[in-house]
Amino acid sequence: MSAPKPHAVSTKLAQAGHYIDPATGAIVPPLHSAATFARDKNYELIGDFIYSRTQNPTGNEVEKLLTELEGGGEALLFASGLAAAAALFETVEAGKQILVPEVIYYGTLSWLRRISERRGIELGSYDPGEPDSLPRAIIPGKLDIVWIETPVNPTWDVIDIQAAADVVHEAGAILAVDSTVAPPVTTRPLALGADIVAHSATKYLNGHSDLTGGVLVTNRIDDRWKDIRYIREHAGGVLGAFESWLLLRGLRTLAIRYERCSESALRIARHFEHHPAIEAVLYPGLDSHPGHEIARRQMTNGFGGMLSILVQGGTQEALTVATGLELIIRATSLGGVESLVEHRASVEGPQSKVAPNLLRFSIGIEDPEDLIQDIEQALNSL
Ligand SMILES: Cc1ncc(COP(=O)(O)O)c(C=O)c1O
């Protein structure tokens, strides 16, 4: 008889890794709020834990599940997506190079600019739309990390992970992929050649806009990874027990949430693609999107709920639409069950490279017709 095929990601998620508490039979992991863990009369630790800044049993359950979902060797949870990214960047020594695409999440870029200036790190960028620009941007012998994000916030351009990994490995560096917008239900960057995958767990992984968290997952426990463990412990950026517990609860419904968000976003993108008040709809699920072919290859189970529209006009017109929305909430963040809109240029300030007429939508799990109606009426106020 042939071996049973491994369970689907959605099955693993729904059962939080088939969790059954060995002591009680409970099917939900307990929330271990303890900051510290006791030793016995021989001064031996009673369990595997010392202190919650190092690791916590509730966080460990989430890390085990995320390791399995990403097909990695180990996951580490952090207090936010940026804390996870910062721990990785902390491993880069002075004189080395970090390369990023021209457009990435503004918060990551802002942090990279600061640390590169202060620590003597070369920060370079390349245009992922132009295949030769990555090898051209590499400073031979200096490149340490290429950090990409796909789809890219907030233009939702798609980057070919496998192609980037080949170039980066050829240069003797590592590829880290911020896959916040493409969680492991749809993309598994490690299987495509990435060395480290990062997420803001604040977004799709949790999905309920009620915690901030981040995670790094690797497939190789090498010296850099051990350093990241050390940095998390000693810089204190670990995720708290309560947030870990909430995150595990959120993860149980990730597959079904992502499916719904993806279906609705595609429907909305198609509905507004040729609207007279809209210059363009940016969504990787549209056939017309320049990265659609790559997205089809590497987003195997939905294109997600993130889309942006370029309103005809500029800042004023975009803000008129944003403020005209009655149902979709004006707030930052993404990947939650509720739909949000954001005018990124206003939030990022004068340094922003985001088009002034761009509105970013995070499509949630509401009835898509209600969302379409809301956007339609807001466009009518132009
Ligand atoms: C793609 C991406 N990566 C990372 C982050 C940072 O995550 P956090 O806010 O959890 O620090 C964000 C936040 O919006 C994001 O959109």
Structure tokens at 87: 């721990």
CA of 216 relative to ligand 1 center, distance in Å: 13
- Is 257 in the active site? no
**pLDDT tens column, 145-201:** 999 999 999 999 999 999 999 999 999 999 999 999 999 999 999 999 999 999 999
Strands (DSSP E) found in the chain: 74-78, 97-101, 122-126, 143-149, 174-178, 196-200, 214-218, 278-282, 306-311, 329-330, 340-342, 358-362
**Overall average pLDDT of the 208-220 stretch:** 98
Q: How far apart are CA 28 and CA 134, in angstroms?
A: 46
Indicate whether 131 pLDDT > 90: no
Q: Which atom of ligand 1 is nearest to the CA of 180?
A: 1
- Is 5 in the active site? no
Ligand 1: lining residues by beta carbon, under 6 Å = 80-82, 105, 107-108, 149, 153, 178, 180-181, 200, 202, 212, 214
Which of 103, 108, 200, 212 should be mutated for ligand 1, with most atoms under 8 A from CB? 200
Q: What is the pLDDT of residue 96?
A: 98
Q: Is the dihedral of CA 351, 352, 356, 362 positive or negative?
A: negative
- Is 178 in the active site? yes
CA of 41 relative to ligand 1 center, distance in Å: 45
Indicate whether 205 pLDDT > 80: yes
Could you give all domains of the chain from N- to C-terminal order, each with its CATH number?
9-251 (3.40.640.10), 255-380 (3.90.1150.10)
Average pLDDT of the chain is: 97
Q: How far apart are CA 265 and CA 289, in angstroms?
A: 14
pLDDT tier, 1 (very low <50, low <70, confident <90, very high otherwise): low
Q: What is the pLDDT of residue 201?
A: 98
Q: How far apart are CA 47 and CA 208, in angstroms?
A: 32
CA of 333 relative to ligand 1 center, distance in Å: 8
- Is 105 in the active site? yes
What pTM, to 2 d.p., does this model score? 0.97
Closest CA to 175 of 183, 184, 167, 165: 165
**Overall average pLDDT of the 222-233 stretch:** 98
**Cβ-based burial of 294 (10 A; exposed 0-12, middle 13-18, buried ≥19):** buried
